[in-house]
């Protein structure tokens, strides 16, 4: 039997080399003893449909179950059952016996799981998530900027091109992320995206089991996670079960005629593609026409993004195993799911449920891009009016982002001051099962940058960050926003705004903003009231001042957002239902200024104050 190291190396390079006898690929590339997730091997090779499969380890704890063929003669799907009490970790030989009499052997490794893997902890309200785009964050290895395996080569002068950021650069700047006060890292997809251009974003996967060689390798990704963990940082993986890329290796020979939706798009001009109508509301709309529902789910997200058919059990099992494999392989702490409501509604819920069946505590946050709370809350994991349950423990709070930015851009009216928009959004938290687990943010890789939205106003950005650091939910920062980065020419658009992080070239004002954010989020890590406390807010009056508290026994945090034109003197009596029950001595967590309940305290116009009472 080969050594484990050699066998695993063989398994990991199976995407680019063939086993003897005509088997080109087996996925997943390895598995673990002790998993609850069913294992179904996808085997790709020449004319293997209709084959039988057996294993040398049948008596040692491996049982080959149903073998499924599709309309493509080059694929087999093999159900494998592992009897955990019998099987020892190691490399085992499987034999594919083809209808034309060939015996095709391949070796497959079953590894030992980490202790406590199924009970791994995840990220939550005590954390702060740092979202970064690997290609634009930091270039730590100039040698991998381009790769012989990748179509698109590096061109830092091209706004929409590859700029060279990589895993080594992310590793090099882990201390900067820690210093900011973040506790969790969410990189946009790191899997191989081999489109001819605009591949840097990573959302058009070419291989679900391979890190993009321009970022590094599977091994380096695992090293990145290990080093992040050593510094107290958690890691979230960005996953895209809704679509792959047109450059995916299986596009030249699809596993089945139902593997993707609208395969006829592959031979159509771009202007004639069947695209999604993006009508995500049809899922919860009791009046929606079936044709509109189907268009949302089966239409392609973009010209380079074929739509995966999660209604197909083989596709669903493939994508489920893929997610579980990466959590186990890299020792991940959570997942973010792209374009969640664009997938088959039942399929994506089953996918989420299966992952959380393997990892009971794993947090999974879904991108559900709606401007209203009701539509977002529909996708949070609980039984809805129509019986649907997405199984998602967390969703992204787009409504609060829109409300916050709008509130800070203008003052509203005397009847409806702008800060009321934030208040009104949060007043609908009753629609959520657990609002403390919702991901809150001021912007991300798909939205205009915070500095652009707020006209570069540093005071408004500080107000926004004061809110983000003290709000209910899990805060997410977007790389560079802590410095107030904008596009070079001030215009918006993905290519313009996804700027390279200018390490070592920040201005004095940018560094001042970063220090403010760092002070806030470093303090946040010490606050029990923020991590566990209740949320109580007071309706803004005509002065356009929004005040809310986070409270836990013996502790309270008071946030004051003065969006008005006049300085605000705190009326302590108005907040007595809270202040009468908490310690009366506190301090401003940014200025360290001492504050006593009942004493005169003034918050200047257009600024924020965060006061901790302990």
- The full DSSP string for 309-331 is -TTSHHHHHHHHHHHHHHHHHHT
Give me the catalytic one of 338, 380, 429, 453: 338
Q: Retrieve residue 522's tokens.
A: 């470093």
- Is 152 one of the catalytic residues? no
Q: Which candidate, 465, 463, 485, places its Cα nearest to that of 475?
A: 465
Query: Cα–Cα distance between 591 and 608 in angstroms, integer?
Result: 11
Query: Cα–Cα distance between 106 and 92 in angstroms, integer?
Result: 8
- For residue 77, what are the β-bridge partners? 42, 68
* Strands annotated E in 30-142: 31-33, 39-45, 52-55, 62-68, 75-82, 90-97, 103-112, 129-132
Q: Which residues contact 426 (CB under 8 A, 6 or more apart)?
A: 400, 472, 535, 537
- Is 372 one of the catalytic residues? no
Contact 221, 330 (CB under 8 A): yes
Distances (CA, A) of 241 to 281, 453, 574: 20, 31, 50
Determine how many CB atoms are found less than 10 A away from the CB of residue 142: 11
Query: Cα–Cα distance between 384 and 402 in angstroms, integer?
Result: 25
Contact 299, 282 (CB under 8 A): no
- Three-class secondary structure of residue 204 per DSSP: coil
- The full DSSP string for 409-421 is H--B-SSSBTTHH
Q: Which residues contact 559 (CB under 8 A, 6 or more apart)?
A: 466, 467, 470, 547, 548, 549, 550, 608, 609, 610, 611
Q: Retrieve residue 30's tokens.
A: 């390895």
What is the CA angle 183-186-190, rounded to 5? Answer: 140
Q: Provide φ and ψ at 568, rounded to 5°.
A: -115, 125
Pairing mode, if any, of strands 260-261 and 234-239?
unpaired
- Write down the number of H helices and E strands in the chain: 17, 28
Q: Retrieve residue 97's tokens.
A: 């016996």
Query: Cα–Cα distance between 433 and 447 in angstroms, integer?
Result: 27
Query: Cα–Cα distance between 195 and 481 in angstroms, integer?
Result: 28
Burial zone of 331 (CB within 10 Å; 0-12 exposed, 13-18 middle, 19+ buried): middle
Pairing mode, if any, of strands 62-68 and 31-33?
unpaired
- Three-class secondary structure of residue 52 per DSSP: strand
Give me the catalytic one of 152, 238, 333, 367: 367
Query: Cα–Cα distance between 493 and 220 in angstroms, integer?
Result: 31
Contact 358, 118 (CB under 8 A): yes
- The full DSSP string for 208-239 is EEEE-TTT--HHHHHHHHHHHHHTT-EEEEEE
User: Looking at the annotation, which residues are catalytic?
Assistant: 338, 367
């Amino acid at each position: 039997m080969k050594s484990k190291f050699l066998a695993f190396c063989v398994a990991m390079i199976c995407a680019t080399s063939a086993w003897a006898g005509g088997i080109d690929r087996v996925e997943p590339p390895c598995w673990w003893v002790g998993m609850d997730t069913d294992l179904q091997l996808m085997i790709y090779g020449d004319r293997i449909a209709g084959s039988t499969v057996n294993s040398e380890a049948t008596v040692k704890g491996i049982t080959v179950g149903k073998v499924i063929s599709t309309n493509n003669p080059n694929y087999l799907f093999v159900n494998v059952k592992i009897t955990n009490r019998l099987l020892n970790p190691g490399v085992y030989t499987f034999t594919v016996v083809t209808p034309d009499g060939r015996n095709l052997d391949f070796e497959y490794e079953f590894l030992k799981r980490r202790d406590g893997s199924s009970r791994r902890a995840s990220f939550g309200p005590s954390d702060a998530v740092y979202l970064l785009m690997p290609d634009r964050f930091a270039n730590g290895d100039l040698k991998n900027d381009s790769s012989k395996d990748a179509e698109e080569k590096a061109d830092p002068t091209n706004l929409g091109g590859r700029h060279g950021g990589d895993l080594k650069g992310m590793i090099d700047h882990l201390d900067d992320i820690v210093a900011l006060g973040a506790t969790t890292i969410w990189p946009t997809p790191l899997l191989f995206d081999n489109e001819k251009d605009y591949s840097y974003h990573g959302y058009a996967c070419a291989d679900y089991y391979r890190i993009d060689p321009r970022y590094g390798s599977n091994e380096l990704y695992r090293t990145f996670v290990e080093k992040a963990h050593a510094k107290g940082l958690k890691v979230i993986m960005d996953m895209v079960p809704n679509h792959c890329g047109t450059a995916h290796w299986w596009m030249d020979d699809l596993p089945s005629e139902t593997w993707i939706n609208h395969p006829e798009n592959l031979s159509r001009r771009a202007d004639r593609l069947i695209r999604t109508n993006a009508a995500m509301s049809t899922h919860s709309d009791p009046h929606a026409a079936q044709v509109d529902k189907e268009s949302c789910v089966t239409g392609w997200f973009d010209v380079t993004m074929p739509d995966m058919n999660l209604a197909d059990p083989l596709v669903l099992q493939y994508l489920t195993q893929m997610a579980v494999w990466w959590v186990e392989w890299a020792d991940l702490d959570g997942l973010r799911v792209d374009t969640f409501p664009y997938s088959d509604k039942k399929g994506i819920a089953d996918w989420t449920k299966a992952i959380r069946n393997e990892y009971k505590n794993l947090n999974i946050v879904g991108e559900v891009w709606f401007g209203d709370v009701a539509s977002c809350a529909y996708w949070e994991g609980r039984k809805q009016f129509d019986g649907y349950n997405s199984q998602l423990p967390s969703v992204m709070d787009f409504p609060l982002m829109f409300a916050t930015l709008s509130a800070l851009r203008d003052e509203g009216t005397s009847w409806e001051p702008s800060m009321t928009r934030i208040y009104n959004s949060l007043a609908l938290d009753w629609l959520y099962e657990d609002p403390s687990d919702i991901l809150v943010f001021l912007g991300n890789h798909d939205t205009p940058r915070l500095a652009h939205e707020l006209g570069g106003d540093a005071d408004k950005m500080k107000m926004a960050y004061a809110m983000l650091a003290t709000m209910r939910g899990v805060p997410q920062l977007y790389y560079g926003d802590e410095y107030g980065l904008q596009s070079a020419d001030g215009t918006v658009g993905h290519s313009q705004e996804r700027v390279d992080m200018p390490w070592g070239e920040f201005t004095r004002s940018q560094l001042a903003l970063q220090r403010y954010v760092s002070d806030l989020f470093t303090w946040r890590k010490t606050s029990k009231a923020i991590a566990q406390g209740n949320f109580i807010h007071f309706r803004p009056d005509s002065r356009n001042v929004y005040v809310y508290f986070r409270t836990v026994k013996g502790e309270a945090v008071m946030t004051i957002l003065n969006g008005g034109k006049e300085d605000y003197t705190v009326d302590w009596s108005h907040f007595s239902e809270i202040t009468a029950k908490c310690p009366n001595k506190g301090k401003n967590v940014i200025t360290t200024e001492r504050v006593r309940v009942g004493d005169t305290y003034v918050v200047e116009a257009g600024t924020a104050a965060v006061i901790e009472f302990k």
